[in-house]
């Protein structure tokens, strides 16, 4: 699975706010989460990180959080959630392909924090690499669960207390969906790699399963090292969790079954019982007393996906049977000969890659073995490009035309993707002005009930800020010719629809871009192949003439 941009949430009941800052700035063991000490017993500072605080003033993050908790009398009980920890992890390829740096990631993290956690005391820290050394830049956002400032009503908030100072932050399912959609939009805006976070994954790996696999793999590696030292060969080198083994059994059953009864029977042969309750599936293995729900395994194993897969298998079986009846019978010897000829065909990759600059390797003084390897790789890529050229094109001019058409399609899809941005921004502005209008309308219209001018002037002076916001909202509606004000929910639904269409357009652009790059690589390889061959022939003729 590619580690594309992801969003993760962890709630903490630890009253020591300084522990969060210590974890972000000092090296910790990835399994025990305990700080790493040097030979003198002191904490080891992380090599590279960026850190900043929000709404803490001149105080330390921990001191500011404890002071606010005492002021409002919150987070005093042991069972209270003291802080929320959000993690934004970027794709490792963003650094090379999109020039994402640690400083830029820190800026994006601070922008995300100020936008969505503006009323909370927060600490934002960016690390250049993950614990698994995958090279993914990731941002930690730790906020105090207590809100110290009143904030505007955001789409995921459904209670008045969600905006008030002195109340606590709630990370609901609606909040996570909203944060993920905003993260996806930010990645689209910055042209970073991104997946659809709003929909589930085929294999859902929870944090507990991830760490169980890491620890199991580490223990297996230690045992295999002892076995190898004894001169033996380890039987197993890859550790698999019980859930991963269950997924493999379920996939094998889904590959062959055509009905749900057949699917349940195949699983029962492996000692696994499947149960359906209120449209949800759960699986019980022989070594467990509590079943595992499909939600914890992945979207490929829930009721809707399983039934759809079984229907596809049944339809495919009908089509294959119809094709067999239409084909002419062949002898066993003929079928064996065809299988033998197919096995003898060389398996060449159909994905072309860029050629290696051998002249640059020679100029750098690389060894002969590396240069010979590069020559062989270039010959393989030329063979792939030559094969694709003869399969899909008549002439090199057709390659040029196809490349131009692919470039036009890429530019068109890019323009269609970018065209959604001003529409979304306009709808967001309208949504914000509607919210401001709703919050100040009752206060401003209440002045009509005051008959005495002196009291009316005093009321307006007291609520001057509300009158300014209300008049600005009315002025905005008049400038944009909005006579009938839409509801807040309708505008939010329109924003979500535009974001969904933008995501579809972005996926189309990525497909067109990949096609353009592939054709460009084929063209460059063909140019190198044909032009290089022509230059070699001319050089050989000149050499013959001199002789």
In this predicted structure, the answer to whether residue 454 has a pLDDT above a threshold of 90 is no
Q: What is residue 531's predicted lDDT score, i.e. its pLDDT?
A: 61
Of the pLDDT bands very low, low, confident and very high (cuts 50, 70, 90), residue 443 is confident
pLDDT digits (tens, 9 = 90+) for 522-543: 777 767 666 654 444 444 444 4
**What crossing angle do the helices spanning 420-445 and 464-479 adopt, rounded to 10°?**
140
Cβ atoms of residues 137 and 105 within 8 Å: yes
Q: What is residue 153's predicted lDDT score, i.e. its pLDDT?
A: 84
The number of angstroms, rounded, from the C-alpha of 168 to the middle of its chain's C-alpha atoms is 28
Cβ atoms of residues 6 and 139 within 8 Å: no
Report which of residues 213 and 89 the model is more confident about: 89
Q: CA angle, 165 as apex, 164 and 168 as ends, to 5°?
A: 85
In this predicted structure, the answer to whether residue 54 has a pLDDT above a threshold of 80 is yes
Report which of residues 79 and 98 the model is more confident about: 79
- What integer is the mean pLDDT of 139-154? 91
pLDDT digits (tens, 9 = 90+) for 257-272: 888 888 888 888 888 8
Of the pLDDT bands very low, low, confident and very high (cuts 50, 70, 90), residue 85 is very high
Q: What is residue 488's predicted lDDT score, i.e. its pLDDT?
A: 86
pTM: 0.49
Q: What is residue 309's predicted lDDT score, i.e. its pLDDT?
A: 84
pLDDT digits (tens, 9 = 90+) for 375-385: 777 766 666 65
Average pLDDT, the chain: 80
Cβ atoms of residues 174 and 197 within 8 Å: no
- What integer is the mean pLDDT of 15-22? 89
Q: What is residue 237's predicted lDDT score, i.e. its pLDDT?
A: 82
Cβ atoms of residues 121 and 100 within 8 Å: no
- What integer is the mean pLDDT of 420-439? 89
User: Minimal CA–CA distance to 140: which of 36, 2, 22?
Assistant: 22
The two beta strands, 138-147 and 83-89, are antiparallel
Q: What is residue 453's predicted lDDT score, i.e. its pLDDT?
A: 85
Report which of residues 396 and 213 the model is more confident about: 213
Q: What is residue 327's predicted lDDT score, i.e. its pLDDT?
A: 57
pLDDT digits (tens, 9 = 90+) for 220-255: 888 888 888 888 888 788 888 888 888 888 888 888
In this predicted structure, the answer to whether residue 38 has a pLDDT above a threshold of 90 is no
In this predicted structure, the answer to whether residue 201 has a pLDDT above a threshold of 60 is no
In this predicted structure, the answer to whether residue 300 has a pLDDT above a threshold of 70 is yes
pLDDT digits (tens, 9 = 90+) for 499-526: 888 888 888 888 888 888 877 777 777 6
In this predicted structure, the answer to whether residue 420 has a pLDDT above a threshold of 80 is yes
pLDDT digits (tens, 9 = 90+) for 344-363: 554 444 555 666 777 777 78
Output the six-digit token pair for 240: 């698999």
């Amino acid at each position: 699975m590619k580690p594309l941009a992801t969003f993760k949430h962890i709630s903490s009941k630890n009253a020591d706010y300084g522990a969060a800052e210590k974890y972000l700035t000092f090296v910790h063991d990835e399994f025990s989460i305990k700080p790493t000490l040097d030979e003198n017993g002191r904490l080891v500072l992380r090599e590279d990180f960026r850190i900043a605080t929000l709404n803490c003033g001149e105080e330390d993050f921990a001191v500011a959080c404890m002071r606010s908790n005492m002021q409002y009398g919150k987070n005093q009980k042991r069972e209270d959630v003291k802080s929320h920890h959000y993690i934004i992890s970027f794709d490792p390829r963003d650094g090379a392909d999109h020039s994402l740096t640690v400083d830029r990631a820190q800026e994006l993290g601070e922008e995300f924090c100020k936008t969505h956690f503006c009323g909370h005391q927060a600490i934002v820290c960016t690390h250049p690499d993950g614990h698994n050394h995958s090279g993914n830049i990731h941002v930690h956002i730790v906020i105090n669960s207590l809100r110290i400032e009143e904030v505007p009503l955001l789409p995921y908030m459904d209670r008045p207390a969600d905006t008030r100072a002195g109340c606590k932050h709630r990370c609901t399912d609606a909040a996570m969906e909203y944060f993920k959609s905003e993260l996806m939009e930010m990645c689209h805006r910055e042209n970073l790699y991104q997946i659809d976070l709003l929909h589930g994954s085929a294999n859902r790996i929870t944090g507990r399963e991830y760490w169980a696999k890491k620890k199991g793999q580490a223990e297996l590696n230690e045992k295999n090292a002892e076995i190898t030292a004894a001169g033996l060969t380890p039987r197993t080198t890859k550790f698999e969790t019980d859930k991963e083994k269950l997924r493999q059994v379920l996939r094998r059953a889904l590959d062959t079954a055509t009905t749900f009864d057949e699917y349940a029977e195949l699983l029962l042969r492996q000692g696994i019982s499947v149960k359906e309750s209120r449209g949800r599936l759960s699986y019980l293995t022989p070594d467990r007393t509590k079943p595992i729900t499909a939600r914890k395994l992945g979207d490929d194993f829930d009721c809707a996906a399983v039934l759809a897969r079984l229907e596809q298998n049944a339809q495919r079986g009908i089509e294959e049977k119809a094709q067999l009846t239409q084909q002419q019978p062949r002898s066993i010897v003929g079928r064996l000969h065809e299988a033998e000829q197919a096995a003898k065909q060389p398996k060449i990759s159909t994905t072309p890659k860029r050629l290696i600059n051998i002249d640059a390797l020679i100029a750098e003084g690389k060894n002969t073995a590396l240069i010979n390897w590069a020559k062989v790789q270039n010959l393989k890529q030329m063979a792939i490009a030559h094969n694709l050229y003869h399969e899909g094109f008549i002439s090199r001019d057709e390659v040029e035309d196809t490349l131009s058409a692919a470039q036009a399609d890429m530019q068109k899809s890019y323009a269609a993707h970018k065209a959604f941005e001003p529409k979304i921004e306009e709808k967001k502005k309208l949504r914000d002005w509607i919210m401001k209008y709703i919050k100040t309308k009752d206060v401003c219209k209440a002045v009509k009930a005051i008959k005495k001018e002196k009291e009316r002037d005093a009321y307006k002076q007291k609520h001057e800020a509300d009158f300014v916001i209300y008049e600005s909202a009315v002025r905005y509606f008049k400038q944009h010719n909005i006579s009938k004000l839409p509801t807040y929910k309708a505008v939010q639904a329109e924003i979500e629809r535009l974001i969904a269409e933008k995501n579809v357009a972005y996926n189309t652009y990525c497909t067109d871009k990949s096609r353009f790059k592939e054709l460009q690589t084929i063209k460059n390889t063909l140019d190198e192949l044909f032009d290089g061959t022509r230059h070699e022939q001319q050089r050989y003729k000149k050499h013959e003439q001199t002789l």
